[in-house]
Structure 1
Amino acid sequence: MKTTSTTATVRSGRAATRMIVCVGMLAAISTILMLFEFPLPFLAPGFYELDFSEVPILIGAFALGPVAGVLTELVKVLLNLVVNGTQTAFVGEFANFVMGCMFVLPASLIYKMKKSRKHAVIGLAAGTVTMSVVAVFINALVLLPAYAKAFGMPIDAFVEMGSAINPAINSLWTFVVLAVAPFNLIKGVLVSVITVLLYKHISPILKGNL
């Protein structure tokens, strides 16, 4: 009985160590991917830039569970703070953490219910929609006011940038609905496709099955 208990403890310790190592590694990769950003000028002003930093986080969340996904998201934000600092007194970083979690958590929780490609796709779709909806409110109520204050700009300046792309944008809320939401939907779709294509190749490494 004692041997069995000791073996279980060792296995649990190894699993915890593997998770910590994987979280750190995936967060580092994610932070590097954040450096490679590109705008979608046909959809949103240039300060909205798309990156694929959520791909490693989603892969880790699928392989190791939702908790690992949230921890990786947190470490990514902290690493990015070390690399780039903050211009919004940590408001922007907190908002990005929340939006990332709103993508990763629904996706990984649904996939955890049944680990199949179908549930992965459903989870990623749910995560994409959730992130996009949350992004609307966070941008309108938190991010854009924070950036306006940080750079000494009126909120109307952002609306004018959006209006130059889409004439239907004439207020803060039309800006977030017609520019921010579609931007995040496209980001979610692209990240989801890459995650599905890569997951089966990378997950055995994270799970220690190689």
Structure 2
Amino acid sequence: MVKKPVREHADANMTTRVVVRDIMNSPVVSASPQDSVRDIAQKMKSEKIGSIIVMDKDKPVGLVTDYDIVTQGVAKDVKPSALKASDVMQELRTIESQESITEAARLLRKHGIKRLGVIYKDRLVGIISASDVIAVTPDLVDVVSEKAGIIRGELGRPAGKVSGYCDECGEWSDLLQYDEGTFICEVCRGEAASPESP
């Protein structure tokens, strides 16, 4: 895994930024490189998931998907109990948890894959899939459209009713207020007590 700096959003005027950690699946379901494909398939079935992270001594070394099981096992008429995870796994590509879902979508498309491991402080903390990105896209478009309408003065209602991420603290709020090019939550405006940190 090569650690890269978090990419800044390409549009400096974009005030809605959903990051990978907001939609990732966690905790990670994993297996060892020596586990049989049969055991992995059973784990996928019981967990109702389409992929398993392969871990070797707490380090992610690969990914086994339902597609890998079909193409590397079933299609070749190899017994699942005779194959190990290391025989069918693919490279696990990763993304930092603070990256935007736009960057996640770009990486998924660039590499022609459907899943990315999510890294936080050099540790695998989750997984994000193409379907996760697609699932939030319609809502995100609605929020961006609403904010754009307020900025252009097209909506005849107060800006304090906008939902989204605060440009100051990055937390979600249903009470954002637009002021001088940014959307600020009620906490950062000093209108509510700041939540205690965990």
TM-score, with structure 1 as normaliser: 0.22
Query: Which is greater in Rg?
Result: 2
Q: TM-score, normalised by structure 2?
A: 0.23
Q: Considering fraction of residues, name the structure with more helix.
A: 1
Q: Which has the higher strand share?
A: 2
